[in-house]
Amino acid sequence: MPLVSVQQLLDEAAKGGYGVGAFNVNNMEQIQAVMEAARETQSPVIIQASSGARAHCQDRYLYHMMLAAAELYPEIPLVLHQDHGNSFETCKSAIELGFTSVMMDGSILPDGKTPSSFEQNVEVTRKVVELAHDKGVTVEGEIGVMGGVEAGHGAGGTGRVTDPGQAEEFVARTGVDSLAIAIGISHGAYKFKSKPDGSVLKMDVLIEIHKRLPDVHLVMHGTSNVPKDLQDVINQYGGKLNPTWGVPIEEIQLGIRNGVRKVNVDTDSCLAITGAIRKFFAEHPEKFDPRDYMKPARDAMKKVVALRMTQFGQAGHARDYVPIGIEKMKQRYAAGAFAAK
Ligand SMILES: [Zn+2]
């Protein structure tokens, strides 16, 4: 099966009332971990790469590893998504490379940290939508500003919570297919200093946006749970993580009941890998073959990804439908199938 359209995955998730995890990768073992978890749980899946990941993989390695994944796991509907495209050029190069979905994060300027104006965001996102839809590629936009920094990208601090009225105007003026919103969650491992409650996690804003835009798929970013057991393994074997809390699974599930269809997860995978490698090094100081420690690292990431797939509800849905490629999506966009949002 070729890489498929994310629009179809998210439309199907909306019909079925579940969310689809979008897992960040930087190397072969992470791709293998996601694909094995998808096979084990029979899940459709989104694999995403940030600009930093693309640079790390020199683009071509990433693209060809993804083709290998599609070839080796033909039963899994698989999407390759550009995470946090910082400019029109970044999204254009992703589309040319073969990504089937792109995020244009116009909430910050191309420097990756300065918040943009609403008009600047509308202008660049609209331009990406025109190019992408012409090629059958789906576009995720972002309105409001996420806090924190991930792979060098992000405004830092606590960000700016999305205004529901602005979200509505943004979708109408840009034609985006899905929308990332800021509801008090930050990127990275250090999200909250205690278990988050309604004063920081603005689930009421999410619910209000879904009410106003029932047909737009919402995207939650920074949605790692940062579980204590994964933190503990790292600290037990020489790591020094400060105590931190992620997003409670029940809050993610509340989001999924209110229009969230794409759930981004990166930090949990990183924690699982690092803990497994630290443990292996501590227990086997005489070993030096990278395969010896990359295997438990891959297994640890697969375990947490499979758990998330079950918690988000995508498990068991891999064979629900016949996936379509972006050629067919191109025709649908040209026919105006998605113009009425
Ligand atoms: Zn993000």
- 37-78 tens-digit pLDDT: 999 999 999 999 999 999 999 999 999 999 999 999 999 999
Taking 90 as the threshold, does the pLDDT of residue 194 lie above it?
no
* Residue 151 pLDDT class (50, 70, 90 cuts): low
% residues pLDDT > 90 (the chain): 81
Interval 166-170 mean pLDDT: 97
Interval 207-233 mean pLDDT: 96
pLDDT of residue 113: 83
Interval 135-162 mean pLDDT: 80
Q: Which domains are assigned to the chain? A: 6-334 (3.20.20.70)
Distance 281 CA to ligand 1 centre (A): 31
pTM: 0.95
Distance CA 121, CA 117 (A): 6
- Which of the two residues, 151 and 310, has the higher pLDDT score? 310
pLDDT of residue 213: 97
| End-to-end alpha carbon distance in the chain | 29
- Written as six digits, the tokens of 147 are 């806090």
Catalytic residue among 11, 59, 83, 289: 83
% residues pLDDT > 70 (the chain): 95
The percent of the chain in helix, strand and coil, each rounded to the nearest 5, is 45, 15, 40
Cα torsion angle, 107, 109, 114, 117, sign: negative
Residues in the chain, how many? 341
Taking 50 as the threshold, does the pLDDT of residue 161 lie above it?
yes
Radius of gyration of the chain (CA): 19
Distance CA 79, CA 67 (A): 11
Distance 222 CA to ligand 1 centre (A): 6
pLDDT of residue 158: 62
CB 195 within 8 A of CB 225: no
Interval 251-263 mean pLDDT: 97
Distance 146 CA to ligand 1 centre (A): 8
83 has catalytic annotation: yes
CB 164 within 8 A of CB 208: yes
pLDDT of residue 341: 44
pLDDT of residue 198: 78
Distance 65 CA to ligand 1 centre (A): 22
Distance 202 CA to ligand 1 centre (A): 17
Predicted confidence (pLDDT) per residue in 290-304, tens digit = 999 999 999 999 999
Distance 229 CA to ligand 1 centre (A): 24
CB 95 within 8 A of CB 134: no
* Residue 216 pLDDT class (50, 70, 90 cuts): very high
